């Protein structure tokens, strides 16, 4: 385990049950699990701009359990990184429970990915195929509960919807009966990519269960988030690509403010973020505030020093 993990135990000792953030009646603002992107540095950034709850990128539980190298490369945290949810891809309840036991001292809960529509994930029995296996999802929730004997440690699931919504409601009710803490619903089916999000389906699910529900899908601004929250009656909203483009979205900014770019530079350099990740995040953040010509120049930069020089010359950063 990395040294940052030792500091994380301080957060562990003083943290509250993450479910308590849903009790305020206010909109709960959540940073989605994003492969390659929602790592420690980015989580640190969005927390500065009114994000209430952050997820790690999806981690394959089997690899995490058997490989120290996988654990060190896939999961890093620190004292300020809470409340934190670790998302796992799994197809075996025992392995998932073991992975949950490993991260238990350093996180506030785990989430089971039941929504990833990518072929490789479905082919391995992960992600969205799990919405068709409610008994396995139930078993996963129960075994994590048995492994981690602390009711304050959350166990949630993130799902997509079925064409037949009664099947999704049945899945959610079974997960609730097994002890799930909350459910995040991406309002599209496995086959849908860019079609409109079915917010009516999310509302139906919310009305059908008692545990908190987080709405996910096509939220680009704080106004979008508030509208979806109101329309669906859910407890919170989860944002992915919208936060990549504007990490200050939840603080009400329409586009990434220069202060946020400055914060990203400082955080990324302090935490030793690899150059490709550092640069890629800046490319997303600056999408709306740069011309096509500026994009071509900035996107072609190949070193941290070149990026810093560019930002200083163009934006006084």
Q: What is the mean pLDDT of residues 195-202?
A: 97
Question: Residues 26-47: pLDDT tens digits?
Answer: 999 999 999 999 999 999 999 9
Q: How far is CA 300 from CA 22, 120, 274, 310, 317, in A?
A: 43, 31, 16, 11, 19
For the ranges 5-19, 29-43, 300-314, the lowest mean pLDDT is seen at 5-19
Question: Residues 76-94: pLDDT tens digits?
Answer: 999 899 999 999 999 999 9
Average model confidence (pLDDT) across the chain: 93
In this prediction, residue 11 carries a pLDDT of: 54
Own/partner long-range contacts of 19-24 (Cβ < 8 Å, ≥24 apart)? 19/154, 19/181, 19/182, 19/212, 21/52, 21/53, 21/83, 21/236, 22/182, 22/212, 22/235, 22/236
Q: What percent of the chain has pLDDT over 90?
A: 87
What is the DSSP secondary-structure string of 199-226? Answer: HHHHHHHHHH-SS-EEEESS--SHHHHH
Q: What is the mean pLDDT of residues 143-162?
A: 96
Q: 188 pLDDT exceeds 50? A: yes
Q: 224 pLDDT exceeds 60? A: yes
Residue 116: active-site member: yes
Taking the model in full, what pTM does it have? 0.94
Nearest one of 135, 145, 84, 83 to 114, comparing CA atoms: 135
Residue 83 preceded by cis peptide, ω within 30: yes
């Amino acid at each position: 385990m990395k040294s940052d993990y030792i500091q994380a135990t301080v957060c562990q000792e003083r943290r509250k049950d993450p479910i308590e953030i849903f009790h305020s009646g206010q909109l709960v603002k959540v940073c989605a699990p994003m492969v390659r992107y929602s790592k420690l540095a980015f989580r640190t950034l969005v927390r500065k701009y009114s994000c209430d709850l952050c997820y790690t990128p999806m981690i394959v539980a089997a690899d995490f359990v058997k490989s120290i190298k996988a654990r060190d490369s896939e999961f890093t945290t620190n004292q300020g990184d809470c409340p934190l949810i670790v998302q796992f891809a799994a197809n075996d309840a025992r392995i998932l429970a073991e992975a949950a036991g490993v991260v238990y001292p350093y996180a506030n809960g785990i989430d089971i990915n039941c929504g990833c529509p990518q072929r490789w994930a479905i082919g391995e029995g992960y992600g969205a195929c799990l919405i068709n296996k409610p008994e396995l999802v139930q078993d996963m929730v129960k075994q994590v509960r048995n492994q981690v004997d602390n009711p304050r440690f959350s166990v949630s699931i993130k799902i997509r919807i079925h064409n037949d919504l009664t099947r999704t409601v049945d899945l959610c009710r079974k997960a609730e009966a097994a002890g799930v803490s909350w459910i995040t619903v991406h309002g599209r089916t496995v086959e849908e990519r860019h079609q409109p999000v079915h917010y009516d389906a999310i509302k139906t699910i919310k009305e059908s269960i008692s545990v908190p529900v987080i709405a996910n899908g096509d939220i680009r601004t704080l106004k979008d988030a508030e509208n979806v929250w109101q329309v669906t009656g859910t407890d919170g909203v989860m944002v992915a690509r919208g936060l990549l483009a504007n990490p200050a979205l939840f603080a009400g900014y329409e586009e990434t403010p220069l202060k946020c770019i400055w914060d990203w530079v400082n955080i990324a350099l302090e935490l030793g973020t690899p150059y490709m990740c550092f640069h890629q995040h800046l490319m997303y953040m600056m999408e709306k505030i740069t011309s096509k010509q500026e994009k071509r120049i900035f996107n072609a930069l190949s070193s941290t020093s070149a990026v810093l020089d560019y930002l200083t010359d163009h934006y006084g950063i």
